[in-house]
Chain A
Amino acid sequence: MNHPTTSELFEFVDNRVGKERAGQIGSHLTECAHCRRQVELERSTRRIVQSEPLITASERLAALVMIHVGTPARDPLALRLLGKLGSFVAMIVVLAVVGLAISNVSEVNDQPNNSSPSITHVVAPLSEVYEKAIQSLTSESSSMTQSFENTGDVQFWKTVFIVALSIGAVAAADRVLGRRFIKLRP
């Protein structure tokens, strides 16, 4: 049998030749290393192109398209989840801000030559509310509360507050700018 044409070999790979002709080409391939290699090259090429990583479009592109079509680049499910997450983060941020303010004012008031007792009067009720909030948050773990009170590890809690603040800031930026700093889906 003569060699099949290149065109026929491509169509053989694409399963576009008739059954009888496919049988003839198949028999030929068992005998002809040249044609067999051509078929293998074509199949390998297809496999490689399919398995190569795609070129990733930027997040900016998606955001711009959604702006053009008149809606932020986020689906309702993500928005709902972000709404819940946002509320939770907002609560943490409020606690963190109040906590930082109180701890700073308390430190100022602890100075020996502090001559502004009125600040203590202003802060005292707020401080009570804050401590009650912290106690209620940690009520299920009284030992933790005790540990907090005993060791007075203010630095640790400050770090926690700063981290919470950062999360809050990123979540707020995410909502305002319509970008996806926080990915809710893979």
Chain B
Amino acid sequence: MESLSDQEIISRVLGGNTRSFAELLERHKDKAMTIAMRMLRNREEAEEAVQDAFVRAFNALGKFEKRSTFSTWLYRILFNVCSTMLSKRGGPPQSISSDNNEGEQEDEIPDLSEIPDSIVEGDEFRQQVVESMNELPPLYSGIATMFYLDDLSYEEIVTITGAPLGTVKARLFRARALLRDAIVRRIGIKEFAR
């Protein structure tokens, strides 16, 4: 079973061997959980979202077209489930399909040349990156996690979010800039103040 590709497992499941779906679940559940946690920031809700996404994926497996990988397809379902859960919580709109007002505006950043090498190599920096990821607004955090974690291309994120390429690029730029700013602020507070 270990050597089978996702596509081969899907063929088995569609052929009636539904138990093989457990292998797909085992392969992808932790990454899905990580993305859901970054978006929802609540373990119970994240588990619920991942469970819902896998059940939906199983039920729609026959419609899976091999144009993308299974993980990209699964993330799309998961992203929609998480977005819906976020919308139900209230707060700002969570759809990213129509936010054309969010261009790739260049922002002012402090002089980074002052940051010594030792800072960006240590365990403390690692911790600061992780904490900064958790500070990002949920959708940015979700997109940035998928982008970094699976080395996804812009086009794959278009598939996942259903948003136009321009919007995805703008959102991704914003997520990375916010993340960079959060990191710089953290190390700035600690190091530049010395």
Contacts and interface: CB of A to CB of B under 8 A. Distances in A.
Interface range on chain A: under 10, 10 to 19, 20 to 34, or 35 or more?
35 or more
A49 B37 CA distance: 14
B82 interface: no
A48 B129 contact: yes
B120 A40 contact: yes
B163 interface: no
A69 B58 contact: yes
SS class of chain B's interface: helix, strand, loop or mixed?
helix
Nearest to A186: B2
Given A6-B109, A7-B106, A54-B31, A45 B21 contact: no
Contact of B34 (A5, A37, A55, A79): A55
Interface residues of B, number: 54
Given A10-B173, A44-B120, A45-B179, A61 B112 contact: no
Nearest to B56: A68
A65 B17 CA distance: 15
A75 B17 CA distance: 9
A123 interface: no
A76 to B, nearest CB: 6
A136 interface: no
B5 to A, nearest CB: 16
Nearest to A40: B120
Contacts of B151: 50
B4 to A, nearest CB: 11
SS class of chain A's interface: helix, strand, loop or mixed?
helix
A69 B21 contact: yes
Interface in B13-61: 17-23, 25-26, 29-34, 37, 46-47, 50-51, 54-55, 58-59
Interface in B134-164: 144-145, 148-149, 151, 154
A62 B22 contact: yes
A119 B34 CA distance: 63
Interface of B: 1, 17-23, 25-26, 29-34, 37, 46-47, 50-51, 54-55, 58-59, 104, 106-107, 109, 111-113, 115, 120-121, 125-126, 129-130, 133, 144-145, 148-149, 151, 154, 172-173, 176-177, 179-180, 183-184
Interface of A: 5-7, 10, 14, 16, 32-34, 36-38, 40-42, 44-46, 48-50, 52, 54-58, 60-62, 64-66, 68-77, 79
